[in-house]
Every structure is written in structure tokens, then in C-alpha cells.
Amino acid sequence: MEQSSQSATGVMKHTTKVALKRDLGLWSALALVIGTIIGSGIFFKQASVLDAAGGTTMALGAWLLGGIITLTSGLSIAEIGSQMPETGGLYHYMENMYNKFWGFLSGWMQIIVYGPSMIASLALYLGVLVTDFFGIGNKWLVPVGLIAIAFIGLINFLSNRFGASIAIIITLCKLVPITMIIVFGLFFGNGNAFGQSVQHITSQAGSGFGVAVLATLFAYDGWVLVANMGGEIKNPKKMLPKAIGLGILLVSVIYLLVTFGIYRVMPAAEIHRLGQNATPAFAKLAFGGLGGKILNIGIIISILGCMNGKIMTFPRIMWKMADNKELPFSDKLAYINKKTLSPIYAIVTVLGIAMLLVLFANPDRLSDLCITTVYIFYVMAFVGLFKLRRREQTTAQIDKQSFRVPFYPLTPIIAILGAGFVIFSEVINDPMGILFSIIIVASGIPIYYYFKKKHAQPVAH
């Protein structure tokens, strides 16, 4: 988009503003949804979900409820997104449904806590798999995570079409290990997937069904990230809801089948004992040494694909906020490379924060932190859907082309109740973690008011 400005001498200066390009189709959007959801969670959260739930039956219930909450949440956001199909996702929605203050805080939360924490936890889970695969010891866990972040970051310096193509390829590849786990568990497992308990082997067992659901929500999370690229999707009023709804539904079925299959093969006590290493051990048990390694390669590819989706989408929020002059160094962070149309400095900044978290945190703590934080804003967004409906009735301006959430108002009500249940459970079980999350998000308030005051000042002539 070319713009002209006139200098004091009357000479016209021509400057070119580079914009993001709307060229992602349905398959790219769907691959991003599935690719950013299916990563490490389904493989590494089995033990934590089982321990919190207290047994396999309740754990399967937690995976089912997590899927229902996620589906109702996704459909609610899909209606909002179809009416506001712009880059920025939740940040853009909150600003339009409430005001600039809440829009800024939701964006700040995503670029400082949520996004970097998700990327860092994935990198550390990847480190667990890679070090186990090569037998090189835990001392390489952090370096492997850092190398993975840098590698995927370099890929995303290229055009969004390249990143989307990678997402499609990796999404297809990650379905191979998932299919292997499901088929082996359903047809060759001889255990009972229901009724197994871990109450007698750990004092932490049954610590909270809500905590178990929270752990599943990390595995389900990522569906909202495609909305961050709303300004780069073709016909987003139709494509965005289709990608979110269909993607979440497919993932929910896959997760239940994978969990059921694992419970059919491995006793609950063994899953508890192995913890994060339960899935690599399942691979070796089910397919032998060579088969287990092949399956683990597939899981490694799955995590890399999930990282790619998150690294592709989170910097778009930072870019959008910088483009609105709401962040320090906005001129740099709003820069888009003219050849690749990628927000280079925004990518580097988000990944830099993620790398710091890799050095100083553990993956389970990071995953719980980011999920609890984002769900506080999800609740506000779901309530915002009711605000939008009332606004339509007041102004009598209804966009008939936009997506309408099915079973309204029941669907957003379930989303609100589900998210509230998870937040309440986390407040009861980890009040300090909630407080820490709120403090980090609140740290953006002074920045918001500084730039608000700066923009309000009259320009000197």
C-alpha cells in the first residue's frame, strides 16, 4: 500500500508500507489449528492428568470434558472472529468488544506470558524426547530446546505460505504415530482402560478433577492461534469458523482414542511411575526398540509442527500491537520484511523471551501458568459474544455472512462455565501461581498508560 506525505518544502515523499498478505486457504488454516493443538500435551500430560484425576475412568472423563470446553470455546470465538477477521485475534476482539485497555492487556498477556510459555514448554518437552531418543542425558535437554526454537524461528523468517506448507506436511506426518498408538491400543492392548486407580501409590492422586481438566486443556490449546492470522486468511468469515470447529472436533476424538489406547496397554501404576517418559516407554513396549524409535521420531516431528504453528502466530499479535504504536520500540517491532512479508523483529523478540523461560523454568509449570492466564481472558471474550449480539439488536445491523454459533446461548454458557470451573480449581489448588500470573499481566498497565498519554499529547509544529 503506497502512501504519500508532504514535507515542509512542498516536495512529495513517497513511502511504501508493507502489509501482511491474505493468501491462506482452508487447508492451511485447518492444518494450523490441528498442528498447533496436537503437539506435546497428548503425549506428556498422560501421567499428570491420571494423577490428578485419581484413576483412568475419571482421567478419560477429564479428557472428554476438556474437549467439550474447548469445542464450545472455539465455536464461541469463531463467531467473534468471523465478524472481526483481522490480524491479532483475541487482542483485536477484546479491543472491539470492550475497549483499548482490555485489548492491550490481552495482547500483553499473550506476548509476555502465554505465547513464550507455550513455546518454551514445547521446547523442553521436545528436549525430553530427543535426549531419551539418543540416550545423551538430561544435560542436553535445555540446549536441544534452544536449538529447536532457533531452527523453527528461522523457518518463520520466510513467507507465511512456506510456514503454512510446513504445517500441512507436519500435520500429515504427526498423524502417523497417533494412528499407530490408537490401532495398537484398540486391537492389541489387553488391559482394562476403565477402573484403574493410582490412589494407593501417590498422595497427590485425586488432587482435583479440575486440575486434571486444566492439564488436558494444555493439550487442547492452540485452536485460537489461527485467529491471530485472521488478516492473512482468504474469506475468513467462512474459513476461520470451519477451521476452528472442524479442527477441534477431530482433535477431541483423536485424544480420547489415544488415551484409551494407552490405558489398554500400560497399567495406571506404570504410567504414574514413568511420568513424562510414559509415551516413549509405550512406544518401546508396543513396537520394540526399532519401532519405538520410529514412533518417537513421529512424536518429535509432531512437537516441531506444534512449535511452528505457535511461532508463526504469536508474533503477529506483537506486530499488530506495535503497528498500533502500543509497545516500546514499535517502529522496529512493526517492521515487515518486503520480500517474505514476515514480522522479523516481532518473531525474534517473542522467541527471545521463550528462550529465557527455557533456561529458568520446567515445562509442566509453564504449561499450567499459560493456560490459567489465557482462560481468564477467554471468559471475558465469551461474555463479549453476548455483548455483540445485543449490539446487533440495538443497531439492527446483522451480518448475515458471518458465522453464528450453534445452540446459542447454550454453547457460550457452557464455555463460560467450563472456563470458570478451571480457573476456580486452579485458584484453590495453586493460588500463588494465579497471583504470579496476574502480576505479570498487570505489569503491562504502566506501559499502556504511558503510550496512551504519549499519543494524547499534541504534536508540536
pLDDT tens-digit profile of 16-62?
455 555 556 677 777 778 877 887 678 778 888 888 888 889 999 99
For the chain, helix, strand, coil in percent to 5 are 75, 5, 20
pLDDT band at 12 (very low <50, low <70, confident <90, very high): very low
Q: State the pLDDT at residue 64.
A: 94
Question: Can you tell me the distance from the alpha carbon of 306 to that of 97, in angstroms, rounded to the nearest whole number?
Answer: 29
Q: Is the pLDDT of residue 180 over 50?
A: yes
In this predicted model, which residue has the larger pLDDT, 122 or 278? Answer: 122
Per residue in 93-146, pLDDT (tens digit) is: 899 899 999 999 999 998 988 888 889 988 988 888 888 888 887 788 899 999
Of 93-97, 253-257, 291-295, the one with minimum mean pLDDT is 291-295
pLDDT band at 155 (very low <50, low <70, confident <90, very high): confident
pLDDT band at 415 (very low <50, low <70, confident <90, very high): very high
Question: 361 in the Ramachandran plot: left (φ > 0), alpha (ψ -120 to 50) or beta?
Answer: beta
Of 50-59, 255-264, 365-374, the one with minimum mean pLDDT is 365-374
Q: Which of 98-112, 205-219, 284-298 has the highest mean pLDDT?
A: 98-112
In this predicted model, which residue has the larger pLDDT, 260 or 454? Answer: 260
Per residue in 307-341, pLDDT (tens digit) is: 887 888 888 889 989 998 999 998 899 888 777 77
Q: State the pLDDT at residue 349.
A: 94
Q: State the pLDDT at residue 20.
A: 52
Q: Is the pLDDT of residue 152 over 50?
A: yes
With pLDDT > 70 as the criterion, what percentage of the chain qualifies?
Answer: 85
Q: State the pLDDT at residue 161.
A: 62
3-class DSSP state of 460:
coil
Per residue in 183-210, pLDDT (tens digit) is: 888 888 777 777 777 765 554 544 578 7
Length of the chain (residues): 461
DSSP 233: B
Q: Is the pLDDT of residue 10 over 90?
A: no
Overall average pLDDT of the 393-406 stretch? 74
Contact (Cβ atoms closer than 8 angstroms) between residue 216 and residue 49: yes
Contact (Cβ atoms closer than 8 angstroms) between residue 187 and residue 337: no
Alpha-helix residue ranges (DSSP H) falling in 221-333:
236-265, 268-274, 278-323, 330-333
Catalogue all structural domains in the chain, each as residue range(s) with its CATH number: 20-455 (1.20.1740.10)
Question: Can you tell me the distance from the alpha carbon of 34 to that of 26, in angstroms, rounded to the nearest whole number?
Answer: 12
Q: Which helix (H) or strand (E) holds 103?
A: helix 100-109
Up-side HSE of residue 115: CA atoms within 13 Å toward CB?
Answer: 34
Q: State the pLDDT at residue 167.
A: 66
Question: Can you tell me the distance from the alpha carbon of 133 to that of 171, in angstroms, rounded to the nearest whole number?
Answer: 21
Nearest residue to 145 via CA among 176, 122, 161: 122
Mean pLDDT across the chain: 80
Nearest residue to 32 via CA among 220, 287, 223: 223
Overall average pLDDT of the 415-438 stretch? 82
Contact (Cβ atoms closer than 8 angstroms) between residue 250 and residue 258: no
The pTM of the full predicted model, rounded to 2 decimals, is 0.78
Amino acid present at 428: I
With pLDDT > 90 as the criterion, what percentage of the chain qualifies?
Answer: 21
Contact (Cβ atoms closer than 8 angstroms) between residue 407 and residue 189: no
Nearest residue to 115 via CA among 379, 328, 369, 415: 369
Q: State the pLDDT at residue 342.
A: 78
Torsion of CA 246, 102, 118, 349, to 10 degrees: 120
